[in-house]
């Protein structure tokens, strides 16, 4: 890392610590915004669950806490070094450090052999795109646990790019344990893990078994903490079957609010299948560049999962910054940027009109989430088309850039 990159790390730390110091209630304000955090990532609910756990009551009784048990262990451990209040020095430093580590992983990916033959952005630019992205900053200050899940996912990519596959599998299992949609990345990760030796049946089986073993180990932690597997229904069950109908930036909540209960199971399976059905086709089509496949799947799950938040978009944009060779072939960047900016500005206003002022209704907020989804769809399809165009041109002209793993 050069001095500019370290300066970006320091500047981002100063910015976030200053915001927390100058505006002590900012984390509470952002934590109440449905665009920034959901019931699956809320720090407020994490604190309630941690309190119940510390006084000997299962945090999964009563439907208050829906996050992974490992978060309870982590924040109980952090409590030994100070208060776990959202604006305490311990939590401030921990979240700032997590974001810096994530940016470090992104810079490491850009310098890996997987992207070494391409013209990359400078490390400090890649770090800045992540650390100073307003969506990422807002997610960090709101104390969303998605910050930790995203760090584990990007860490898994970084270790895979340097053939440290065991660590990569461990980080992917951890990310999947805290956010089950990360498990969709397993097929393109297999291509990364077997890039040196080839995708033989033995190697695929080895990584599959290790991933399942790691996931089972993490699941057993929750069992020993709570004395039962009831937490699976409160965490993964709530996520997969969409038990909390609170509004968010996704497509699910309005459909299920208006739907008869009789049809809910059918459409739950359909919606979940929609987010899953793209994984294998994208992996097979982009088998020459698993990193692009991973990024594309991350983008699709950003708009199709049951509880999305704007921080997911920040992570997706940060991953796109790794592929500078795609930028010249992107056609609709300005259109997508304007559409998404339009939706991000109006979403909190429409939600306020609906919930607090009563001068609007659910259609106001849901309409702007549809605009947000359209903007995301434009980005995903445009970058995917650009990647495929580069591959097509490269097959006809060896001087063109083709990414081979």
Q: What would the pLDDT profile of 358-371 be if each residue is shown by its tens digit? A: 887 889 999 999 99
| Whole-number pLDDT of residue 84 | 79
* Residue bearing tokens 């960047």: 333
**DSSP summary character for residue 199:** -
* C-alpha distances in Å from residue 119, one per residue of 192, 290, 333, 399: 20, 18, 20, 14
* Residue bearing tokens 């498990």: 183
Greater confidence, 286 or 84?
A: 286
| Whole-number pLDDT of residue 61 | 83
Is residue 227 exposed (0-12), middle (13-18) or buried (19+ Cβ within 10 Å)?
Answer: exposed
Count of beta carbons in the 10 Å neighbourhood of residue 216: 10
Average pLDDT over residues 28-47: 91
Q: How far apart are CA 149 and CA 24, in angstroms?
A: 25
* C-alpha distances in Å from residue 210, one per residue of 157, 184, 257: 17, 16, 40
Quick one: which H or E segment has residue 105?
Answer: helix 89-110
Q: How far apart are CA 270 and CA 338, in angstroms?
A: 31
Q: Encoding tokens for residue 18?
A: 């200053």
With a cut of 70, say whether residue 405 has pLDDT above it: no
Average pLDDT over residues 153-165: 93
Count of beta carbons in the 10 Å neighbourhood of residue 83: 12
For 217, the 3-state DSSP assignment is helix
Rg over alpha carbons for the chain, rounded to the nearest Å, is 21
Average pLDDT over residues 239-255: 90
Entry pTM? 0.92
Q: How far apart are CA 329 and CA 340, in angstroms?
A: 20
| Whole-number pLDDT of residue 399 | 33
Nearest to 131 by CA among 150, 115, 113, 112: 150
**DSSP summary character for residue 185:** G
Q: What percentage of the chain reaches a pLDDT higher than 70?
A: 94
Nearest to 185 by CA among 172, 174, 197, 171: 172
Q: How far apart are CA 253 and CA 365, in angstroms?
A: 11
| Whole-number pLDDT of residue 204 | 87
């Amino acid at each position: 890392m050069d001095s500019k990159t370290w300066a970006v790390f320091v500047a981002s730390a100063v910015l976030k610590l200053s915001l927390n110091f100058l505006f002590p209630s900012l984390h509470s304000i952002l934590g109440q915004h449905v665009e920034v955090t959901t019931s699956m990532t809320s720090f407020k609910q994490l604190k309630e669950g941690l309190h119940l756990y510390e006084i000997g009551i299962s945090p999964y009784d009563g439907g208050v806490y829906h996050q992974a048990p490992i978060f309870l262990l982590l924040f109980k451990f952090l409590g030994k070094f100070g208060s776990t209040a959202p604006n305490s020095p311990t939590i401030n430093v921990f979240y700032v450090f997590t974001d810096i580590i994530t940016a470090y992983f992104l810079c490491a990916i850009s310098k890996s052999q997987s992207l070494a033959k391409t013209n990359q952005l400078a490390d400090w630019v890649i770090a800045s795109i992540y650390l100073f992205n307003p969506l990422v900053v807002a997610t960090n200050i709101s104390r969303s646990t998605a910050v930790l899940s995203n760090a584990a996912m990007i860490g898994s990519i970084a270790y895979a790019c340097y053939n440290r596959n065991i660590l990569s599998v461990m980080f992917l299992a951890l990310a999947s344990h805290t956010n089950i949609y990360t498990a969709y990345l397993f097929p393109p990760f297999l291509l990364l893990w077997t890039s040196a030796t080839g995708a033989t049946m033995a190697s695929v089986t080895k990584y599959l078994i290790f991933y399942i073993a790691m996931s089972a180990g993490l699941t057993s932690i929750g069992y020993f903490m709570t004395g039962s597997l009831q937490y699976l229904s409160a965490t993964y069950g709530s996520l997969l079957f969409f038990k909390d109908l609170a509004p968010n930036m996704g497509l699910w909540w309005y459909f299920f609010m208006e739907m008869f209960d009789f049809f809910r199971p059918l459409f739950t399976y359909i919606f979940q299948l929609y987010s899953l059905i793209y994984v294998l086709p994208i992996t097979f089509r982009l088998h020459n560049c698993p990193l692009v496949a991973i990024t594309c799947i991350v983008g699709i799950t950003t708009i199709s999962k049951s509880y999305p938040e704007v921080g997911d978009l920040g992570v997706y944009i940060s991953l796109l910054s790794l592929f500078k060779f795609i930028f010249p072939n992107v056609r609709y960047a300005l259109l997508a940027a304007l559409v998404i900016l339009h939706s991000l500005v109006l979403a909190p206003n429409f939600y306020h009109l609906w919930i607090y002022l009563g001068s609007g209704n659910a259609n106001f907020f849901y309409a702007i989430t549809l605009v947000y989804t359209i903007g995301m769809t434009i980005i995903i399809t445009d970058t995917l088309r650009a990647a495929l165009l580069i591959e097509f041109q490269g097959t006809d002209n060896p001087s063109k850039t083709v990414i081979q793993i």
